[in-house]
Structure 1
Amino acid sequence: MTYYQQQPFSSPQIPFTGSIQGGLQEGKSITVSGRVLPGANRFHVNLQCGSRPDADIALHFNPRYDSKTGYIVTNFRKNSHYGTEERIHQALFPMGNHFNLHILVTSYSYKISVNGNHVMDFKHHIPINMVDTIVVDGMVEVYTISFQDAAVPSVAAQASYSMPYITTILGGLQPGKNISIQGIVNPHASRFQINLRHSSGIAFHYNPRFGENLVVCNTLTNGQWGSEERSGGMPFHMGQNFHLIITCNPHHYNVFVNGNQVQTYNHRFTNLWEINALEVSGDMSLTGVNV
């Protein structure tokens, strides 16, 4: 199987219609990062079958603000007829605030998370292999729409990289940039680390520690580490493949492992264009990198 990662849409003009290259399949995920405009009345994100105005809509995700607290409507449209609305009565998208909407495709449903918290499963009403378009409209500003494929190449097809590994990030980082890392955790791993470096330190240090069963994130500036951010739970498993994507947003990084958002880390080093190197080391084998 050939591995392919669609590049993100960066700062698209709203209303926006974009192609989901290769369509949807189980394990694929889509992340929309943006900000609700002040005074918004509603916006929506649609996953649909083509770009025609009358296209079937597999998922209609529609935050609305015509009540004091706000709520979310989800639905589908087939043969020009909408189904029965499902509503989430939670204020998950405050006006003027930033958000990350993550949609993971499973065999049964779309798993929908907002800012790292799972909020609902929306079951399929239209076959996922018919879905090839994403539409965003309404009173919202979008920073990036990024994609993560479920496909991981077989071990026989994987490239081999010497460790520790370092490569140049041409042009530095910018919002909308994705860094994709594939590897295999060593069977008796203690820890490994992924660093986004600049000339005087490490902008983002990502450090899974198996002995403590947690991940540590930090920043190194002029030889001094900042305060650690520790997140419990381990998204990696000894002896198993993984696919990690770091998405650079205007104010933070999002980290995805095997289709799930697992960390958000606010920028402490904000000159993103000066971040010019990716470094990977520790108890893992590196099998694929895309910067």
Structure 2
Amino acid sequence: MALYQQLPFFNPSVPFTRLIQGGLKDGMSITVCGRVLSDANRFQMDLKYGSDIALHFNPRYDGGSGYVMHNTYQNGGWGSEERKYETPFPKGQLFALQILVTLGSYKISTNGKPFSEYKHRMPFSWVDRIHMSGKVELSLVAFQYLAPHQPLGSFTVPYKSIIHGGLQLGKVIIIQGFINPQANRVGFSLRHKTGIAFDYSARFDENVVLCNNYEEGNWGKEQQSDLVPFKRGEPLQVTIFCSRHYYEVFVNGEQTHNYSHRVTKLEKIDVLEVSGDVQLTFVQP
């Protein structure tokens, strides 16, 4: 199955509404990254068709303890609420929300951990828009297919994960966390069996970013640029989008680098590694 190739949305304003090109399909994943405002009372994510809402995901902070309400709005009325009395998105903190579409339900994960499951009350194939509103800032909204039963794992560094099925056009890799205050280096690598297709190294001790590949025991021609997008002690979000000719790298929502494919058999590239002075909070390999 070819990966979904709608480009991610970076740093969109809220309220946010966009068409989902081609609509929802079994196996599609929607990933939303952002930050809950410190004065939040609620925010919501809706998957919509016309005036109907197939999935209304609504974290609320009323009464201090907080909960998440799930529901469907159809034919002019709300259905029965499904509540989970848990607050996976603390106020003022970064979050990653992931909705996986399956034939029977929406499987919802928060910050890389399973959170809830909401069974379909209307056909998911009707859904053609996503809507976000409320007391939240968004940094990224991305759409793609994920490998079935892809394990979530832990986010300890050094981090290593299999990219099931290898890279394909349209693949979106998301890395989110915090750069250590005394960081010297942070690195991301896309590897295959015999080498490194793409090595991205942010070097604070040299104030540069180096991009390269490693094949047959030798490094290729190095690409060097200033260390503009990275700051010690601050949040980090790196998105690597696999386009037809390049790895397009976005740091904190800004496109910073294009790196041409030197290994053209993308399906052979099946390992993501993260290393260096960073604390990870979410990774979507």
Same fold (TM over 0.5): yes
Mapped pair 1:31 → 2:27: no
Mapped pair 1:139 → 2:124: no
Mapped pair 1:251 → 2:236: yes
Q: Residue 181 of structure 1: CA displacement?
A: 2.5
Is the CA contact 2:3–2:168 (under 8 Å) kept in the aligned structure 1? no
Q: Who is 2:167 aligned against?
A: 181
Q: Who is 1:227 aligned against?
A: none
User: Which runs of structure 2 are paired with 1:175-254 in the superposition (5 Å)?
Assistant: 181-182=167-168, 203-206=187-190, 221=203, 251-253=236-238
**SS state at 1:126 partner:** coil
Is the CA contact 2:2–2:168 (under 8 Å) kept in the aligned structure 1? no
Q: What do the CA deviations read for 1:43-95 (whole angstroms, capped 9, x no partner)?
A: 00000103xxxx11100000001022211111111111111111111121111
Mapped pair 1:82 → 2:78: yes
Q: Who is 2:279 aligned against?
A: none
Is the CA contact 1:203–1:275 (under 8 Å) kept in the aligned structure 2? no
Is the CA contact 1:109–1:121 (under 8 Å) kept in the aligned structure 2? yes
Amino acid at match of 2:104: Y
Q: Identify if the C-alpha distance between structure 1 residues 139 and 150 changes in structure 2 by more than 3 Å, giving closer, same or farther.
A: same
Q: Who is 1:286 aligned against?
A: 266
**Where does the alignment leave 5 or more consecutive residues of structure 2 unmatched?**
148-165, 170-184, 194-198, 207-234, 242-249, 270-285
Q: Who is 2:259 aligned against?
A: 277
Distance in 1 of aligned mates of 2:3 and 2:88: 34
Mapped pair 1:19 → 2:1: no
Distance in 2 of aligned mates of 1:33 and 1:108: 25
Amino acid at match of 1:81: G
TM-score with structure 2 setting the length: 0.58
TM-score with structure 1 setting the length: 0.57
RMSD of the alignment, in Å?
3.8
Q: Identify if the C-alpha distance between structure 1 residues 101 and 254 changes in structure 2 by more than 3 Å, giving closer, same or farther.
A: farther
Is the CA contact 1:5–1:149 (under 8 Å) kept in the aligned structure 2? no
Q: What do the CA deviations read for 1:168-227 (whole angstroms, capped 9, x no partner)?
A: xxxxxxxxxxxx9329xxxxxxxxxxxxxxxxx984124589xxxxxxx99574999xxx
Is the CA contact 2:3–2:144 (under 8 Å) kept in the aligned structure 1? no
Amino acid at match of 2:86: Q
User: How many residue pairs were aligned?
Assistant: 196
Distance in 1 of aligned mates of 2:11 and 2:200: 27
Amino acid at match of 1:42: R
**Where does the alignment leave 5 or more consecutive residues of structure 1 unmatched?**
152-179, 184-200, 210-216, 225-249, 257-266
Q: Who is 1:172 aligned against?
A: none
Distance in 1 of aligned mates of 2:2 and 2:92: 41
Q: What do the CA deviations read for 1:115-159 (whole angstroms, capped 9, x no partner)?
A: 1001011000010111001110101001111110469xxxxxxxx
Q: Give the counterpart of 2:116 among 104, 120, 130.
A: 120
Q: Identify if the C-alpha distance between structure 1 residues 30 and 280 changes in structure 2 by more than 3 Å, giving closer, same or farther.
A: farther
Distance in 2 of aligned mates of 1:255 and 1:110: 25
Distance in 1 of aligned mates of 2:258 and 2:11: 22
Is the CA contact 2:66–2:86 (under 8 Å) kept in the aligned structure 1? yes
Q: Who is 1:49 aligned against?
A: 49
Distance in 2 of aligned mates of 1:182 and 1:273: 20
Q: Who is 1:66 aligned against?
A: 62
Amino acid at match of 1:9: F
Q: Identify if the C-alpha distance between structure 1 residues 133 and 288 changes in structure 2 by more than 3 Å, giving closer, same or farther.
A: farther
Q: What do the CA deviations read for 1:257-290 (whole angstroms, capped 9, x no partner)?
A: xxxxxxxxxx9x99x7654426676xx952599x
Is the CA contact 1:33–1:99 (under 8 Å) kept in the aligned structure 2? yes
Q: Could you tell me the percent identity over the aligned residues? A: 43
Is the CA contact 1:28–1:104 (under 8 Å) kept in the aligned structure 2? yes
